[in-house]
Structure 1
Amino acid sequence: MRAIVVFSLILIVVPALADTPTPNALICEIASGTEAAVRETEHQPVEPKAMSFVIAAIDYAQGTAQLIGAAGAVPLALIKGNSSVSFVEVTNYGNVTLTTVFPDPNSKTEFSVVHSRHMAGFAGAVVSQWLGHCQGRW
């Protein structure tokens, strides 16, 4: 069984959302971004692909959540803060992904999301940063 250690930072409190319950799931669609393969000292651009994932079972009291994507599901830990929600995943290989969700001041159900990955493997390192939106589910 593959052990994955995951940390999360979750920060949601915006005046527009102060009286609204925080979502227990986020359905995220990522459409644009940038990605590069790191080879020695040169960065080689890689064509990014759109992606989607769900952050489910968000439990603010217990500090836990679950990321569900094309490759399966992984547990997340979370920390609440003031103006955004960030999930950090650290794999057993030491790779890190960071997903930060920001409330949309014009919507109580829509969120902006930034997803960053720092992946290293036998073929080298690949880093990426993606932008998109999430819909909250209660």
Structure 2
Amino acid sequence: KVESGTMGLDIGVGVTIAALYPGFIALLAQLPVALVCAAAHPLGIGLALGGDLSGPLAALLLLGYCAAAALHAAAALRAGLPVWLALLLPFYWLLHWAALLLALSDLARDPAHWRKTEHGAAVRAAAAA
């Protein structure tokens, strides 16, 4: 005999998971797009600096850079940091490209390897008190 409360919980969890599934798939689909964007970033910069990028694509690249710089400048102001740090954003994105190359070389060399980052021990105010 199955209790109705257990069955109701099982059905409720199943319906909830089914409702959240499309959102999860949408989030999961963003990872390959982000990797492609990180890989193509130096190409876009090279084409723009070389004069080979023009028209709507160049305008879109410029608009994207300006919007990101404005967002980061506003965040810097809010955090009390110098606004000129927003101008370093393209270099930060190039560091993403370098990290992607490093990760791909690690994956090709040793797929089971995991390069761990030492972050140090976090000290929380509650633990220190």
Structure ranking higher in strand proportion: 1
Structure ranking higher in helix proportion: 2
State the TM-score, normalized to the length of structure 2.
0.22
Q: Based on CA coordinates, which of the two structures has the bigger radius of gyration?
A: 2
State the TM-score, normalized to the length of structure 1.
0.21
